Amino acid sequence: MSSFPILDVEAEIKVALDARNAFEDNIVTQKMQDLGMERARMYGWQDTYVFTKAMGEMMIESQREEIPVVIIRPSIIESTYKEPIPGWIEGLRMIDPLLIYYGKGELTAFPADAKGVIDAVPADMVVNAMLAAMAKHGAVRKPGLRVYHIASSVVNPLVHQDLCDYFFDYFNSSPYMDLQRRPIKIQPAKVFNSMDDFHTHIHTEAIQRSPNSPQGIRFSKRVQRSLDLAKHLAKLYEPYSFYEGRFDNTNVQMLIKELSEEEKRHFDFDVGSVDWKDYICNIHIPGVLRHVQKGRGL
């Protein structure tokens, strides 16, 4: 088992402030991003997003005294399941750039553990769980700390390979149109279990898409753009595409049991009841295309 150094939040904040003051303005953004990733991984977190959230929780725990605290930890929040309407979403979330570029034929493969899990949850279920937790603990006002994982990776895992299959099912039957209004034909997405295999694939594919360009000669702008995009997305998602962590939601299940039948109907947050194929193909992808992508030129 790997061992990590003990995290001192105040000392870590000082490291960040000192580094910010030391870097020149023209390079500070990239340098701080690099430093954040370095520090996060040194302490065992995938990236700065979860690292800083963990530090925030540590600060709350150290200063809460007798104040009752409830921490809600949602996993990857995606479009709504039912309310206010199925598929409502504001902005591109975790999996959405992948589905859009795949549907347009610009992304044909991805590096990930094919049997791994993407821990997703509909947005309205997160809101409903928060309301239920507030009602329960706000009324009792008992000092203490309670954590709720609004997550699916244990109770109803969404497997990477299945997700790719759902993308194919949708865009194979409802394809994007190119500039000439012709349907864009896509193939089932390939999932590679290593970054090396993935990079070999995308370079081979780039060469095949440029038959008049011998290996070593610059690709066309279109092919180079697709190649750069695939590399960028792979690097961006790498901390999560091979992530093995799972989040138990026993506390959430106990909270659900305390609801009346009427409350369960109006404030549903049982992630275990989600049919992922139906959700992805009939709710989420149509929602992204309707509420987010339209007019963005993606």
Cis amide leading into 74 (omega within 30): no
Per DSSP, the three-state class of 277 is: helix
Copy the structure tokens of residue 79.
């479009």
Q: What is the CA radius of gyration of the chain?
A: 22
Catalytic residues: 49, 53
What secondary structure letter does DSSP report for 72? E
Q: Are 19 and 35 in contact (CB under 8 A)?
A: yes
DSSP codes, 201-228: HHHHHHHHT-TTS-TTSPPPHHHHHHHH
CB crowding 252-277: b at 16 or more within 10 Å, else e: beebbeebeeeeeeebbbbbeebebe
What secondary structure letter does DSSP report for 273? G
The amino acid at residue 133 is: A
Query: Measured between alpha carbons, how far is 226 from 131 in angstroms, rounded to an integer?
Result: 43
